[in-house]
Amino acid sequence: MKLALRAKWSGEVTRRSNALDLEPGVFTWDDPRKIALSLKRSAEQSSRRKAPPFQSAMSMLNFYINRAGENLPSEQLAVLGRAKEELRKAFGRF
């Protein structure tokens, strides 16, 4: 029961983040650059975030990877890892 509650909690955070308005299904996409640019756009447009845009976007991506990572197929985990690299590029932080 405890695991089910955790899964629901983390899923709820990605759907209803108080800091970023995410595009539906953003973490399921297979294009790392598209994921990164969507996160960047969401972070830059948010008026509720408490950190700079790069930090907010990267935090949301890391949160998803850390919470859903063990249940994701290795291919999608690799896409999300590449999305982190693309996010750094998008913000000029290589």
Q: 0.85 cut: is pTM over it?
A: no
Q: How many residues does the chain have?
A: 94
Tell which residue, 75, 50, 72, has the closest CA to residue 60.
50
Q: Is 94 exposed, middle or buried (0-12, 13-18, 19+ CB in 10 A)?
A: exposed
% of the chain at pLDDT higher than 70:
80
Q: Which pLDDT belongs to residue 14?
A: 53
- Distance, C-alpha 25 to centroid of its chain: 10
Rounded to 10 degrees, the C-alpha dihedral 35/40/46/48 comes to 90
Domain residue spans in the chain?
29-94
With a cut of 60, say whether residue 17 has pLDDT above it.
Answer: no
